[in-house]
Amino acid sequence: MRAMVLETVALPLVLKEVATPSLLPDEVLVRVEACGVCRTDLHVVDGELPHVNPPLIPGHEIVGTVEAIGGRDVKHALGARVGVPWLGGTCGGCRYCRAGRENLCDDPEFTGYTRPGGYASHVVARADYCVRLRRDADPVATAPLLCAGLIGWRCLERAGDARRIGLYGFGAAAHIITQVANRRQREVFAFTRPGDARAQSFALSLGAAWAGGSDMDPPEPLDAAIIFAPVGALVPAALKAVHKGGRVVCGGIHMSDVPAFPYRLLWEEREIVSVANLTRADARAFFADESFPDIRATTTRYPLERANDALADLREGRLQGTAVLVP
């Protein structure tokens, strides 16, 4: 099978022919139709996450069809369309798994990080961690939902019943969750890189009530803020923007250090919480939500061999929405 392989951290991926792995009884072989390019992939490729062990195939926003199954108890049929998300497996026995919090598993597997990912023609996945998708789902449009959508969904849930929500960093997750929030009659305030008029216009076109630079104050206090950009300095900025009792949700797997800030920004029962990974229940709830068929991910297609270009465009902020690799 063909794959873009990370052979050395912080160096470009290499297109290679690699052997297709044999299947364990609980696994399926998926022919990749589309794989979104996520900021977490950048953190893996650039070595910003711990314990990156090359050679490694990145990618965890995967849509494809089942070509082979490892055992007769696998529930996915041959030819079924499935999604392969970031959470690739859990131990099932630690206290977090037993409590229904498998996103915090003590011994997890992650697609495109500790398991081979979707920057390839095929991927092997644990069948129980694949998401069932509609047969008529558009692979390219659906791929970003497998992480940007799911993590954004979990962040929105952590924001509680907030009616005015600030989104810091208007990329893949924010542009999807803006649409979900609008359908729930919530107001979205989009914060972009200072001076990024293109991103601000994009946010307004998707229904944001206001858009401005992250160095600006919103026109009115927020009930909650979600930070998608990996910039620690946005935490005190978001605390300043939420009113008393407001919540700041940090949605990234990696963030630069949070600078010191005065206690008065946290006082009056403001909260800072983080979101880690996702659960299979998140995926079931998201794809079953009545608003899901109307969500439209804005995508830019790249052939598999241009994965390095897609990563560079994401790194430099040249994308609107999400880059998607099409093998």
Which CATH code for domain 2-146+278-326? 3.90.180.10
Q: What is the mean pLDDT of residues 252-280?
A: 97
Beta-carbon count within 10 A of 270 CB: 18
Q: Residue 293 burial by CB count (10 A; 0-12/13-18/19+): exposed, middle or buried?
A: exposed
Residue 189 is predicted with a pLDDT of 98
Q: Do the domains 149-274 and 2-146+278-326 match in fold?
A: no
Q: Read off the tokens for 218.
A: 């919103």
Distance in angstroms (rounded) separating the CA atoms of residues 245 and 208: 23
Q: What is the mean pLDDT of residues 19-38?
A: 97
- Residue 318 makes CB contacts below 8 A (sequence gap 6+) with none
Contact 206, 183 (CB under 8 A): no
- pLDDT above 70 covers a percentage of the chain that reads 99
Residue 294 is predicted with a pLDDT of 79
Residue 175 is predicted with a pLDDT of 96
| The model's pTM | 0.95
Distance in angstroms (rounded) separating the CA atoms of residues 55 and 101: 30
Q: Is the peptide bond before 55 cis (omega within 30 degrees of 0)?
A: yes
| Beta-sheet strands, E only, within 149-267 | 164-168, 187-192, 210-213, 222-227, 242-250
Which CATH code for domain 149-274? 3.40.50.720
Contact 139, 84 (CB under 8 A): no
pLDDT digits (tens, 9 = 90+) for 289-318: 766 667 889 999 999 999 999 999 999 999
Residue 241 has pLDDT above 90, yes or no: yes
- Greatest alpha-carbon pair distance for the chain in Å reads 59
Task: Kindly tell me the sign of the dihedral angle through the C-alpha atoms of 168, 174, 177, 178.
Answer: positive
- Residue 93 makes CB contacts below 8 A (sequence gap 6+) with none
- Residue 327 to residues 4, 214, 307: CA-CA distances in angstroms? 10, 36, 10
First-last CA distance in the chain = 11
Contact 158, 275 (CB under 8 A): yes
Where are the chain's structural domains?
2-146+278-326, 149-274
Work out the mean pLDDT of the chain and round it to a whole number. 96
pLDDT digits (tens, 9 = 90+) for 178-214: 999 999 999 999 999 999 999 999 999 999 999 999 9
With vertex at residue 111, the alpha carbon angle to CA 277 and CA 308, rounded to the nearest 5 degrees, is 110
